[in-house]
């Protein structure tokens, strides 16, 4: 056999062997049945506040961490303030939002005054299927959380910071300071899968 034909023959034989292996492997896969792949994502509820959120009427400090938003409010004014908090809710499952209250001011009303989708990655059912506690305050037992709202999955995609995959829930809070003195209140919103 001429030396020039030897590399071509090797190429043809190698190609034929690869094709036989691929055909045999494909045949073995179709005979063995279906292959199923299953995966799951942990249920997540993320609460946050819009960037730059501040309150003009009272002193405030905000700490957000995944499913929790903690507001520390205080004032030297004994007037009864009304506070609106635009809480952002992102979830990949059904969820509930509760509030824990500590301090020397009484919450006379804690309710949801508005809900809106922030963009196209919010489930169309999320706004209309919310179950809102009409007036979650005052708490009969301060050690127990106040249920604020429950709802279905909110986010269809995106990340924890995407601007278009959250519900903006405006929480209205009416406070009554005790007597005529300085007051402070720590209000913690907690989001959990339901």
**What is the token pair recorded at 62?**
């905000």
Q: What is the DSSP letter of 143?
A: T
What pLDDT score does 77 carry?
80
Cβ 109 vs Cβ 135: under 8 Å = yes
Q: Which residue has the tokens 């919103």?
A: 189
- What is the C-alpha to C-alpha distance for residues 49 and 166, in angstroms, rounded to an integer? 11
pTM for the model stands at 0.75
- CA distances in angstroms from 103 to 22, 73, 162, 181, listed in the order given: 71, 9, 33, 13
DSSP secondary structure string for all residues of 66-123: TTEEEEEEEES--S--EEEEEEEEEESS-EEEEEEEEESEEEEEEEEEEEEE-STTB-
* pLDDT single digits (tens) 33-74: 666 767 667 889 999 999 888 888 789 999 988 789 999 999
pLDDT at 192 over 80: yes
Question: What does the pLDDT read at residue 67?
Answer: 80
Query: Would you place residue 10 in the very low, low, confident or very high pLDDT band (cuts 50, 70, 90)?
Result: low
Cis amide linkage into residue 138, ω under 30° from 0: yes
pLDDT in the model for residue 52:
86
Neighbours of 86 (CB within 10 A): 14
If one counts every other C-beta atom within 10 angstroms of the C-beta of residue 147, the result is: 14
- Per mean pLDDT, which range of 35-44, 148-157, 185-194 is the poorest? 35-44
Is it the case that residue 136 has pLDDT exceeding 70? no
Distance between CA atoms of 62 and 73, rounded to whole angstroms?
A: 9
> Kind and range of the H or E element at 64?
strand 59-65
What pLDDT does 20 receive? 56
Supply the mean pLDDT for the chain: 82
Give the full edge-to-edge strand order of the sheet including 167-177: 45-48, 82-91, 167-177, 105-117
Which of the four pLDDT bands, split at 50, 70 and 90, describes residue 32?
A: low
pLDDT band for position 2 (cuts 50, 70, 90): low
């Amino acid at each position: 056999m001429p030396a020039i034909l030897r590399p071509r023959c090797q190429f043809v034989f190698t190609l034929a062997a690869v094709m036989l292996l691929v055909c045999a492997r494909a045949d073995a896969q179709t005979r063995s049945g279906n292959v199923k792949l299953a995966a799951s994502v942990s249920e997540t509820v993320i609460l946050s506040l819009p960037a730059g959120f501040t309150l003009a009427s009272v002193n405030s400090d905000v700490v957000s961490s995944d499913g929790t938003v903690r507001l520390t409010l205080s004032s030297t004014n004994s007037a009864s303030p009304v506070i609106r908090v635009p809480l952002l809710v992102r979830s990949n499952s059904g969820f509930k939002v509760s509030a824990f209250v500590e301090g020397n001011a009484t919450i006379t009303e804690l309710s949801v005054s508005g809900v809106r989708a922030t963009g196209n990655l919010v489930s169309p059912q999320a706004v209309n299927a919310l179950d809102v506690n009409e007036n979650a305050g005052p708490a009969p037992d301060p050690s127990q959380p106040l249920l604020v709202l429950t709802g279905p999955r909110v986010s269809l995609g995106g990340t924890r910071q995407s601007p278009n995959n959250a519900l903006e829930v405006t929480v209205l809070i009416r406070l009554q300071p005790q007597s005529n003195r300085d007051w402070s209140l720590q209000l913690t919103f907690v989001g959990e899968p339901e």
